[in-house]
Amino acid sequence: MDPVLLYWKNEGQSFLSRVKLWFNLLDPSSLLSSDAEIQKAHSLLRSGENREKDAPAPTLALSSVHADSGAVLPLVFRPPAFLPISAPLVVASFLPHSGVKPALFWQFLLQSYSTGFNYANRNSSSEQGKTTSLKQLLLIAGTVSYTACAGALPQIFINRLRVRSAPVQTFLRSILPIPLSAALAFFNVVTVRSEESDSGIQVFDSNGNPVGFSKAAGEKAVMETATSRAAMFGTTAAVPNLLIFLLQRTRLFQRSPLLVAPLRHMSVAFVLGLMIPVSFGLFPQLGTIKKEKLEEELQAAAVDGHLFYHRGL
């Protein structure tokens, strides 16, 4: 078992401890570290040598190294890069666009980045030594295309149906994006990481020894990650809209309606920033699956009643 997973096993037992740890891991300053520094931090974590001067080593390794391959993650798809890159895309995607093309453009950028992030941070234990198949590439391209078009549906409805009714526009711009954002985030993870459910992922015993590959564990890992991502994007869409709805009823915003737009943008970025560590820590990085839910050939290895698996991110 990779030292990154062993660290999560020891430090990420409770939800609050995981959220606290993710707040530290998401520090954007770690993006300035070179690949050599990251590999050194990973080596220190593997050897267990973590001197006082090397105190940031676990944080750097956990935020920059893939737990299955041990390779350094691409810069833009490391967890600390998620907020700086996705925040402008999310804010722009939630804007009340005047046409379909701008809505499709920003949805395409957001869904492309989300797809790349989900793929880079997947569980790749069953794919070690293999190249990305044509089927997987087509699935990724199809996921981006479908989710981008689906994300722009509110604006498409407004333009194509020539909606002029204020209540209907409010529904399409403020209410429909909430379940739509959550559903598309869920769908993105499930489709991009479908290989884990089909081929299975590596499972470990309580001593960290690999005992085989489990499709049941792969399906559980994908569903947990999809649920956490849906919670993040759904909440990011819901809370700012509710806040704006309440503030528009106050005298200040009735007198100064121009304050609504900047407040909406800031609240979207703020809620997203809070939801990222909550979403990432919603489920353990080193998950457990009960013996009775495993395949028959793996149940004998679950001497403690369960096995461990890497959930991915």
Gap between the Cα atoms of 225 and 202, Å rounded: 17
What pLDDT is recorded for position 150? 94
What pLDDT is recorded for position 49? 60
Among 167, 275, 171, 263, residue whose Cα is nearest residue 230: 275
268 pLDDT higher than 90: yes
pLDDT, one tens digit per residue, over 93-136 is: 998 888 899 999 999 999 999 999 999 999 988 877 677 778 88
For the residues 25-50, what does the mean pLDDT come to? Answer: 83
5 pLDDT higher than 50: yes
Q: Give CA torsion, residues 90, 91, 94, 98, to 10 deg.
A: -120
- Residue carrying structure tokens 């947990």: 224
pTM of the model: 0.92
How far, rounded to the nearest angstrom, does the alpha carbon of residue 268 sit from its chain's CA centroid?
17
In 65-214, which residue ranges form alpha helices assigned H by DSSP? 79-93, 100-120, 134-151, 153-160, 166-170, 177-192, 194-199
20 pLDDT higher than 80: yes
pLDDT, one tens digit per residue, over 167-177 is: 888 888 889 99
